[in-house]
Amino acid sequence: MHEKQHEFKSNLEESTGHVGEAVSAINLDRAWSATSESTDHISLTRAEALAATLDDGARPAAGDPLPELWHWTFFWPITATNGLGTDGHPKKGAFLPDLGLPRRMWAGGRLKFHRSLEIGKAASRDSKITKITEKSGRTGRLGFVTVTHRVTDECGVAIEEEQDIVYREAYAPGTPEPSPTAAPSGGAWQREIVPTETMLFRYSALTFNSHRIHYDRDYAIAEEGYPNLVVHGPLVATLLLDLVRRNTPNLAIKSFSFRAVRPTLLGHAFMVCGEPGVDGKSVELWAKDDEGWLTMRAEAEVE
């Protein structure tokens, strides 16, 4: 499993997440020491709302362990409306650096789960920028920012996370699309997801995510070049890990790594798939669109 995780991280650093192309590095040293701290109450109401959004049959209760990745609906970055950019994201230059690249998306990440947060209890998250690189690819300049999070509660560290954000140049009509990658065939575990505007709206609300590509179709098409609204990468990742929970309810999830390969778009069903390893401890995961193209690749470790 450790070798797979190392390979996964190398692949992420040599890709552009949703861009899906190889790039060559530019030597660049940038100093950015921004940090952020937030405390939140792991409320039952918000956990119930996410369960309903995901069509999770089990209704959470106070005192239950919070399912893995559901912490993404907490620790909101509270930004006033006049502090948002034209894309709906908080303006760059406060916590996240401004690299002179207007488009920004979550490309992937790595998480270690030491134990579960408890619904009904308080928790805190410390965040800091740990890596900034700029590269050039076939579609122009690219920026990569790694944010490290540490989530703690009254018992100590619960979650350690590295989040990878990709910055891109403005959309230019006529820019060729990267060649898609065929998803693996089969998969012992499979679930079809039919995304709707309501699902995207609910997830945006639960994560306080105002990025317009998830709810403003005209903006998504004209300004960012997508054919339709984009399903949140973290939502797809959550559905992938939810597939593990549904199929291994008696096992604990210890780690999770994911990388966005291609946008998942509204208008068509997509599949989340999983193949447990022969060692009984690792699970290969992937999402694919209605044409069979790979949209996200992930790995989980269970115990």
Q: Is the pLDDT of residue 271 over 60?
A: yes
User: Which pLDDT score, from 0 to 100, does residue 102 have?
Assistant: 93
What local confidence, expressed as pLDDT, does residue 34 receive? 79
Which residue matches tokens 């030597």? Answer: 27
Show the beta-strand stretches assigned E in 22-173: 24-26, 35-41, 103-113, 122-137, 140-153, 156-168
Q: With contact defined as beta carbons under 8 Å apart, do 147 and 165 qualify?
A: yes
The pLDDT of residue 4 is 36
pLDDT value, residue 94: 78
Strands 253-260 and 189-193: unpaired
Helices (H), the chain: 2-13, 44-53, 197-207, 217-222, 233-247
- Give pLDDT, residue 281: 95
pLDDT at 92: 87
Question: What pLDDT shows up at residue 52?
Answer: 96
Alpha helices in 124-227 (DSSP H): 197-207, 217-222
* pLDDT value of residue 77: 86
Q: Where are the domains of the chain?
A: 2-302
**Three-class SS of residue 47?**
helix
pLDDT at res. 22: 36
Mean of per-residue pLDDT scores for the chain: 89
pLDDT digits (tens, 9 = 90+) for 285-294: 999 999 999 9
Of all residues in the chain, the percent with pLDDT exceeding 70 is 88
**pLDDT value at 29 more than 60:** no
User: 283 in helix, strand or coil?
Assistant: strand
Distance of CA 68 to the CA centre of its chain: 13
Pull the structure tokens for residue 211: 């990025």
CA distance 171 to 86: 14
Average pLDDT over residues 95-120: 95
For 13-43, give one letter per residue: b (16+ CB within 10 A) or e. bebbbbbbeebeeeeeeeeeeeebeeebebe
Q: Are the C-beta atoms of residues 79 and 51 closer than 8 Å to each other?
A: no
> For the residues 54-58, what does the mean pLDDT come to?
86
The pTM of the full predicted model, rounded to 2 decimals, is: 0.89
pLDDT band at 122 (very low <50, low <70, confident <90, very high): very high
Q: Does domain 2-302 have CATH number 1.10.15.40?
A: no
Hey, what are 58's tokens?
């089990």
pLDDT at 174: 82
DSSP run (H or E) holding 274? strand 270-276
User: What Å distances lie between residue 280 and 61, 114, 222, 241, 303, CA to CA?
Assistant: 29, 19, 46, 16, 8
Task: At 74, list the tokens.
Answer: 């907490």
Give the pLDDT of residue 31: 56
Q: What is the mean pLDDT of residues 10-36?
A: 46
pLDDT for position 2: 38
pLDDT per residue over 152-196, tens digit each? 999 999 999 999 999 999 999 887 778 999 999 989 999 999 999
**Percent with pLDDT over 90 in the chain:** 79
DSSP code for 182? B
Position 32 pLDDT exceeds 90: no
pLDDT tens for each residue of 200-250: 999 999 999 999 999 999 999 999 999 999 999 999 999 999 999 999 999
